Amino acid sequence: DETEMLVTWVVKSGSVHDTPTVEYGPSEGSLHLKATAEATHFKEDKTEFRTFRALMTGLTAGGSTVYYRVGSSGTAWSKTFHFRTLSRSSSSSSWLPRLAIYGDLGYTNAQSTPYLVKEVAAGHLDALFHIGDFAYDLHSKDGERGHDFMEMIEPIAAQVPYMTIPGNHEEHANFSHYDARFSMLGDRHQPAQHKEGKPPLNHRLNNHYHSMTVGPVKVIMINTEYYYYTGYGWGQISR
Protein backbone atom coordinates (compact mmCIF):
# COMPACT_ATOMS: atom_id res chain seq x y z
CA ASP A 1 0.00 0.00 0.00
CA GLU A 2 1.69 3.20 -1.18
CA THR A 3 0.10 5.18 1.66
CA GLU A 4 1.83 3.04 4.31
CA MET A 5 5.41 2.43 5.38
CA LEU A 6 6.56 -0.06 7.98
CA VAL A 7 9.69 0.75 9.96
CA THR A 8 11.54 -1.83 12.07
CA TRP A 9 14.29 -1.37 14.65
CA VAL A 10 16.07 -3.44 17.28
CA VAL A 11 17.14 -2.74 20.85
CA LYS A 12 19.90 -5.10 21.94
CA SER A 13 19.71 -4.69 25.70
CA GLY A 14 18.59 -2.45 28.54
CA SER A 15 15.13 -1.27 29.54
CA VAL A 16 12.60 0.72 27.54
CA HIS A 17 10.85 3.01 30.02
CA ASP A 18 7.98 4.16 27.84
CA THR A 19 6.25 3.31 24.59
CA PRO A 20 8.53 3.06 21.52
CA THR A 21 7.11 5.16 18.72
CA VAL A 22 7.75 6.43 15.22
CA GLU A 23 7.22 10.17 14.81
CA TYR A 24 6.78 11.38 11.23
CA GLY A 25 5.70 14.32 9.13
CA PRO A 26 6.34 16.46 6.03
CA SER A 27 9.53 18.10 7.31
CA GLU A 28 12.28 17.48 9.82
CA GLY A 29 10.83 20.15 12.08
CA SER A 30 7.25 18.90 11.79
CA LEU A 31 7.09 15.31 13.03
CA HIS A 32 3.56 15.74 14.34
CA LEU A 33 2.21 12.29 13.41
CA LYS A 34 2.84 9.28 15.63
CA ALA A 35 2.48 5.50 15.42
CA THR A 36 3.01 3.21 18.39
CA ALA A 37 5.35 0.26 17.83
CA GLU A 38 4.53 -3.37 18.47
CA ALA A 39 7.31 -5.18 20.34
CA THR A 40 8.50 -8.77 20.12
CA HIS A 41 11.16 -10.45 22.24
CA PHE A 42 13.65 -12.72 20.47
CA LYS A 43 15.88 -15.25 22.20
CA GLU A 44 17.79 -18.13 20.60
CA ASP A 45 20.75 -19.69 22.37
CA LYS A 46 22.94 -16.72 23.45
CA THR A 47 21.24 -14.21 21.14
CA GLU A 48 18.62 -11.94 22.70
CA PHE A 49 17.07 -8.67 21.57
CA ARG A 50 13.76 -6.88 21.12
CA THR A 51 12.30 -5.88 17.79
CA PHE A 52 9.96 -2.92 17.37
CA ARG A 53 7.69 -2.40 14.38
CA ALA A 54 5.57 0.66 13.68
CA LEU A 55 3.34 1.38 10.69
CA MET A 56 3.16 4.89 9.25
CA THR A 57 -0.23 5.44 7.60
CA GLY A 58 -2.06 8.18 5.76
CA LEU A 59 0.92 9.03 3.56
CA THR A 60 0.46 10.84 0.26
CA ALA A 61 1.47 8.59 -2.64
CA GLY A 62 3.35 9.89 -5.64
CA GLY A 63 6.72 11.15 -4.49
CA SER A 64 5.99 13.00 -1.26
CA THR A 65 8.92 13.23 1.13
CA VAL A 66 8.31 11.87 4.63
CA TYR A 67 10.64 12.55 7.55
CA TYR A 68 10.68 10.25 10.57
CA ARG A 69 12.53 9.13 13.67
CA VAL A 70 12.08 6.15 15.97
CA GLY A 71 12.57 5.57 19.67
CA SER A 72 11.07 7.02 22.83
CA SER A 73 11.49 10.08 25.02
CA GLY A 74 12.29 7.90 28.03
CA THR A 75 15.17 6.12 26.30
CA ALA A 76 16.58 7.68 23.12
CA TRP A 77 15.61 8.83 19.64
CA SER A 78 17.27 7.85 16.40
CA LYS A 79 18.46 10.50 14.01
CA THR A 80 15.85 11.74 11.55
CA PHE A 81 15.57 9.80 8.28
CA HIS A 82 13.49 10.48 5.20
CA PHE A 83 12.04 8.65 2.19
CA ARG A 84 9.83 9.39 -0.81
CA THR A 85 6.52 7.61 -1.30
CA LEU A 86 5.95 5.56 -4.44
CA SER A 87 3.44 6.32 -7.16
CA ARG A 88 0.09 4.57 -6.93
CA SER A 89 0.38 1.39 -8.97
CA SER A 90 -3.27 1.48 -10.05
CA SER A 91 -2.87 4.84 -11.79
CA SER A 92 0.74 4.82 -12.98
CA SER A 93 1.25 2.02 -15.49
CA SER A 94 3.54 4.32 -17.48
CA TRP A 95 5.82 4.95 -14.51
CA LEU A 96 8.95 2.80 -14.62
CA PRO A 97 10.35 2.04 -11.14
CA ARG A 98 14.10 1.86 -10.64
CA LEU A 99 14.88 -1.31 -8.71
CA ALA A 100 18.07 -2.95 -7.45
CA ILE A 101 17.81 -6.74 -7.21
CA TYR A 102 20.62 -8.79 -5.69
CA GLY A 103 21.48 -11.62 -3.32
CA ASP A 104 24.46 -12.78 -1.29
CA LEU A 105 25.45 -9.60 0.52
CA GLY A 106 27.66 -10.32 3.50
CA TYR A 107 29.00 -8.04 6.20
CA THR A 108 32.69 -8.75 5.53
CA ASN A 109 33.97 -7.60 2.13
CA ALA A 110 30.61 -6.04 1.22
CA GLN A 111 31.98 -4.21 -1.79
CA SER A 112 28.54 -3.43 -3.25
CA THR A 113 27.40 -1.46 -0.21
CA PRO A 114 29.13 1.90 -0.92
CA TYR A 115 27.66 1.93 -4.43
CA LEU A 116 24.17 1.16 -3.14
CA VAL A 117 24.49 3.91 -0.52
CA LYS A 118 25.46 6.42 -3.23
CA GLU A 119 22.64 5.37 -5.55
CA VAL A 120 20.05 5.67 -2.77
CA ALA A 121 21.40 9.01 -1.53
CA ALA A 122 21.24 10.38 -5.09
CA GLY A 123 17.61 9.31 -5.43
CA HIS A 124 18.35 6.85 -8.23
CA LEU A 125 16.53 3.86 -6.71
CA ASP A 126 12.89 3.40 -5.70
CA ALA A 127 13.22 0.04 -3.93
CA LEU A 128 15.72 -2.74 -3.24
CA PHE A 129 15.13 -6.48 -3.33
CA HIS A 130 17.61 -8.59 -1.37
CA ILE A 131 17.04 -12.15 -2.57
CA GLY A 132 18.53 -14.26 0.20
CA ASP A 133 21.83 -14.71 2.03
CA PHE A 134 22.37 -11.91 4.52
CA ALA A 135 25.47 -10.99 6.54
CA TYR A 136 27.03 -14.49 6.48
CA ASP A 137 25.28 -15.03 8.82
CA LEU A 138 22.63 -13.23 10.86
CA HIS A 139 23.05 -15.66 13.77
CA SER A 140 26.87 -15.67 13.77
CA LYS A 141 28.78 -14.46 16.83
CA ASP A 142 25.65 -14.79 18.96
CA GLY A 143 23.74 -12.45 16.68
CA GLU A 144 26.34 -9.67 16.68
CA ARG A 145 27.01 -10.27 12.98
CA GLY A 146 23.32 -9.61 12.35
CA HIS A 147 23.45 -6.35 14.32
CA ASP A 148 26.54 -5.23 12.39
CA PHE A 149 24.90 -6.05 9.08
CA MET A 150 21.72 -4.15 9.89
CA GLU A 151 23.73 -1.08 10.89
CA MET A 152 25.64 -1.38 7.61
CA ILE A 153 22.49 -1.31 5.48
CA GLU A 154 20.74 1.37 7.56
CA PRO A 155 21.65 4.21 5.14
CA ILE A 156 19.90 2.18 2.41
CA ALA A 157 17.02 0.51 4.22
CA ALA A 158 16.01 3.67 6.10
CA GLN A 159 15.42 5.58 2.84
CA VAL A 160 13.86 3.13 0.36
CA PRO A 161 11.76 -0.02 0.79
CA TYR A 162 14.15 -2.90 1.53
CA MET A 163 12.25 -5.99 0.39
CA THR A 164 13.60 -9.42 1.33
CA ILE A 165 13.19 -13.16 1.01
CA PRO A 166 15.38 -15.73 2.81
CA GLY A 167 18.11 -17.87 1.28
CA ASN A 168 19.83 -20.99 2.55
CA HIS A 169 22.04 -18.93 4.89
CA GLU A 170 18.92 -17.90 6.85
CA GLU A 171 17.91 -21.51 7.61
CA HIS A 172 19.37 -21.52 11.14
CA ALA A 173 16.71 -22.20 13.82
CA ASN A 174 13.97 -22.38 11.19
CA PHE A 175 14.67 -18.91 9.74
CA SER A 176 13.94 -17.33 13.14
CA HIS A 177 16.81 -14.81 13.09
CA TYR A 178 15.66 -13.61 9.67
CA ASP A 179 12.04 -13.32 10.83
CA ALA A 180 13.09 -11.39 13.94
CA ARG A 181 14.84 -8.72 11.86
CA PHE A 182 12.76 -8.23 8.72
CA SER A 183 9.13 -7.20 8.28
CA MET A 184 7.46 -7.96 4.97
CA LEU A 185 3.76 -7.12 4.86
CA GLY A 186 1.34 -9.34 3.00
CA ASP A 187 -0.38 -7.55 0.14
CA ARG A 188 -3.46 -5.40 0.69
CA HIS A 189 -5.86 -8.24 -0.18
CA GLN A 190 -4.58 -10.49 2.62
CA PRO A 191 -7.62 -11.63 4.64
CA ALA A 192 -6.06 -10.64 7.97
CA GLN A 193 -6.35 -6.99 6.96
CA HIS A 194 -10.12 -7.21 6.74
CA LYS A 195 -10.83 -8.53 10.23
CA GLU A 196 -12.98 -6.38 12.48
CA GLY A 197 -10.98 -3.64 14.11
CA LYS A 198 -7.32 -3.05 13.46
CA PRO A 199 -5.37 -6.32 13.20
CA PRO A 200 -1.97 -6.46 14.91
CA LEU A 201 0.98 -5.96 12.60
CA ASN A 202 2.23 -9.47 13.28
CA HIS A 203 -0.97 -10.80 11.67
CA ARG A 204 -0.04 -8.97 8.49
CA LEU A 205 3.60 -10.04 8.33
CA ASN A 206 4.44 -12.59 5.66
CA ASN A 207 8.21 -12.84 5.40
CA HIS A 208 8.22 -15.95 3.20
CA TYR A 209 5.46 -15.45 0.59
CA HIS A 210 4.50 -11.96 -0.46
CA SER A 211 3.78 -9.94 -3.56
CA MET A 212 3.43 -6.34 -4.60
CA THR A 213 2.67 -4.22 -7.62
CA VAL A 214 5.16 -1.44 -8.35
CA GLY A 215 4.04 0.60 -11.34
CA PRO A 216 3.65 -1.86 -14.24
CA VAL A 217 5.66 -4.57 -12.42
CA LYS A 218 4.11 -7.43 -10.45
CA VAL A 219 6.68 -8.85 -8.03
CA ILE A 220 6.11 -12.25 -6.41
CA MET A 221 8.55 -13.46 -3.75
CA ILE A 222 8.50 -17.08 -2.58
CA ASN A 223 10.80 -18.83 -0.11
CA THR A 224 11.86 -22.00 -1.94
CA GLU A 225 14.31 -22.94 0.84
CA TYR A 226 11.55 -24.83 2.69
CA TYR A 227 11.87 -27.66 0.15
CA TYR A 228 15.43 -28.33 1.33
CA TYR A 229 14.84 -28.25 5.09
CA THR A 230 12.05 -30.74 5.69
CA GLY A 231 13.29 -31.32 9.24
CA TYR A 232 11.16 -28.34 10.23
CA GLY A 233 8.04 -30.13 9.01
CA TRP A 234 5.99 -30.27 5.85
CA GLY A 235 3.39 -27.68 6.83
CA GLN A 236 5.50 -24.80 5.54
CA ILE A 237 5.79 -26.51 2.17
CA SER A 238 2.04 -27.10 2.04
CA ARG A 239 1.43 -23.37 2.50
Q: What domains, with CATH codes, occur in the chain?
A: 5-238 (2.60.40.380)
Under DSSP, the state recorded for 208 is: S
Distance in angstroms (rounded) separating the CA atoms of residues 92 and 109? 39
User: What confidence category does residue 127 fall into, taking pLDDT thresholds of 50, 70 and 90?
Assistant: very high
Q: What is the pLDDT of residues 15-36, one digit of tens each?
A: 676 889 999 999 999 999 999 9
Q: What is the pLDDT of residues 69-99, one digit of tens each?
A: 999 888 889 999 999 999 887 666 678 899 9
Q: Which long-range contacts (CB under 8 A, 24 or more apart) does 105-113 make?
A: 105/130, 105/133, 105/134, 105/135, 105/153, 106/133, 106/134, 106/135, 106/136, 106/149, 107/135, 107/136, 107/145, 107/148, 107/149, 107/152, 108/136, 110/152, 113/152, 113/153, 113/156
